[in-house]
Structure 1
């Protein structure tokens, strides 16, 4: 009898650990770069990082469908943004993250209530390249694949404090002109300058 009770307790404990292990990403933050773009941050409790892991390819951002539950959101249609860098030992619990906002390091953050530990040791972040995203309500999800940037389900968060991007804009990648486009633009500018020079002569 004692063995059965012990085994049942062990199974419950293992299931609990599995649930926690599937939710390493506990919050999202954002920073307005004041140039029409922002950077997205993902806070996790996995410990200090040496690279920007993207076990799930990065973070997906899209419009939340209010007719669907969290687990049934069409996250495959949301735009994917890769984690490209990391910051260790920044923020952590609510008070420390609030201090990041007060200091202007972040313009805001939103926790994943199902995963949030409110611990000062949960102070490591992944970061994206600049992207276009305005204030508003958005769905965010990284995925359930192991190991570092995992979430259990998508979450809906409200972005605030972004002034350089019009509210409701995005999500979108920053378009970088092709080298050939830049070359054509440069030649056009040279031609325009030479025409002006000739007229003045």
Structure 2
């Protein structure tokens, strides 16, 4: 009876501890991972086009061209930029590692793959971002040591605005690491109770 209770208690602990780590997709600009973030609203850019946008803290590069415009739709206001022509791949590179980033994205009508890389150019995660409307939405990602993100559309155009990022790295333990630790504790406890 005690052994069964102990196993259930530790299983609950594993689930609780695993949910404490927040590494993954962000869907709100008020997510706690973005507390103390830097905001880049692109309102200082003049109308035109380019294949690179440099901002305080990093840069966007593209295989096509960006367009710069004053947009007050697609979830953006004031200055915003958009890709000229579909199937344009974007690379967002930060000057220093960040622990979280996010931005308003509008005019999306298909899935976009986001490949998130760390400071050693090792893939952290690939996530799919998809909304099917022109209203715009906020998406981002939180993890330790984010250095760059490659955004790849499936033949789509999009508008980007209000980039937020948190400089520096935070120690975000992966849920699997915490689970293994909790299982180890459970094994030690079970062994102790078997001896008595």
Q: TM-score, normalised by structure 1?
A: 0.26
Higher helix share: 1
Higher strand share: 2
Q: TM-score, normalised by structure 2?
A: 0.26
Structure with max Cα Rg: 1
